[in-house]
Homo-oligomer: A and B are copies of this chain.
Amino acid sequence: MPSSAIAADQPDGRRAVQPSAQPGPSTAQSAEPPSAHPQRTRSGSSSHDGSAAASALPNGKVTLADVARAAGVSLATASKAMHNVTRVSAATRARVQQTAKDMGYQPNATAQSLATGRSNAIGLITSDFQGVFSTPILLGVEDELGVRSNSVMLCNARGDAMLEKTYAQFLLSRNVDGLIIVGQDTNPRPPIDVDATVPVVYAYAPSSDPADCSITCDNVGAGRMAVEHLISCGKRRIAIIAGENAYKAAHDRVQGARAALRQAGLQPVGPVRAGGWSADWGRAATRLLLDQHVEFDGVVCQSDAIAWGCMDALKERGLNVPGDVAVIGHDDWAHIVQGLSPKLTSISNRTNEIGRMAARTIIDAVDGHPHHGVTYLPCSVSQRESTLPLSS
């Protein structure tokens, strides 16, 4: 464990600005003179030689017309040459592309979009304010799309159906090629209420309309995995602490867990209670189990927070994890599984992969290969110390 003394005192210089409750430049007239032009960064003149730079827009932007002129060809030819596609002589193609590069030409995506009708951008509407699940999904979408030079336009509907509709229309007006709707849980949800002219895919929360395309995780499989993992660690008396009753995920995971247990000729030890997703619930449920003298050597907790509370209660009673009781969580939230001691084994929902897959699916649809129905992506177990079979 690295540890170093940190530098001692210094004068306490800097102080915070804008200490008002509602700080912000927009709230008051800027104290600065309202200069007519936005700030601009200086820096890196284009990193190449200066072959005759023709004109340039007032903005400093080079258009295809500029390139064409400089290369001594027509606008149309320049356009073709840039796309490596139609019949252009290899010579001109090369020349145009070189001039374009030399002049620092950057195609104007807006104009391209207007001309072609495609924007190479997809719209993403999230309904999750906290972002626990949707963030990795969003990042996954971006990862996949960024590679293809597509971009994602983001809106946060905060779970409000009206706002969601408004945003969908808004994104559509921006010519997005497709829409990804990200939910905050795996409960099926009604389809968005817009006459979308582009493909739509639902991520995490599937659409209740089976004709729509949805990507979510396989919670039934996750429940099964959790139990199978515990059994593989040599545990046989397995208790289950479920999440919140209103969530389909809770039911799905219980269903999978029971199926796996049954398959091994077992059944859950003690009652399966649903109460919430929090550590507090984990503590309460575990104490209850203990107080009722339920004997278990493994427990599947339907969230990492529940597992946290469970481990707290176990330690409180002098029980050792994983020796006396192995604990497995769900969701695989980095900050919880890593913070616990021993570190928590957990079932990952692979939300990042859900995002990537949603992106691939929508691109496919845009390219004319739509998918339908709900795809259940398998979860995976991340083994850590809380279920180490060694000490069993």
A83 to chain B, nearest CB (A): 15
| 0/1 string, A96-136, CB within 8 A of B gives 1 | 00000000001111110110010101001000011110011
With A1-B281, A151-B171 as contacts: A191 and B274 at CB distance below 8 Å? no
Do the beta carbons of B109 and A30 come within 8 Å of each other? no
Chain A: interface residue count, which band? 35 or more
A81 to chain B, nearest CB (A): 18
State A27–B258 Cα separation when bound (angstroms).
34
Do the beta carbons of B336 and A339 come within 8 Å of each other? yes
A153 to chain B, nearest CB (A): 5
With A18-B377, A278-B339, A335-B333 as contacts: A44 and B1 at CB distance below 8 Å? no
A364 within 8 A of B: yes
Number of copies: 2
Q: Which of B26, B175, B197, B376 contacts A60 (CB 8 A)?
A: B197
With A61-B197, A192-B41, A339-B308 as contacts: A360 and B26 at CB distance below 8 Å? yes
Q: Which of B30, B61, B224, B361 contacts A369 (CB 8 A)?
A: B30
A132 to chain B, nearest CB (A): 8
Do the beta carbons of A16 and B108 come within 8 Å of each other? no
| 0/1 string, A38-82, CB within 8 A of B gives 1 | 111111111000000000000111000000000000000000000
With A129-B139, A308-B339 as contacts: A59 and B170 at CB distance below 8 Å? no
Q: Which of B17, B175, B272 contacts A375 (CB 8 A)?
A: B17
Q: Which of B174, B278, B364 contacts A338 (CB 8 A)?
A: B278
A359 to chain B, nearest CB (A): 9
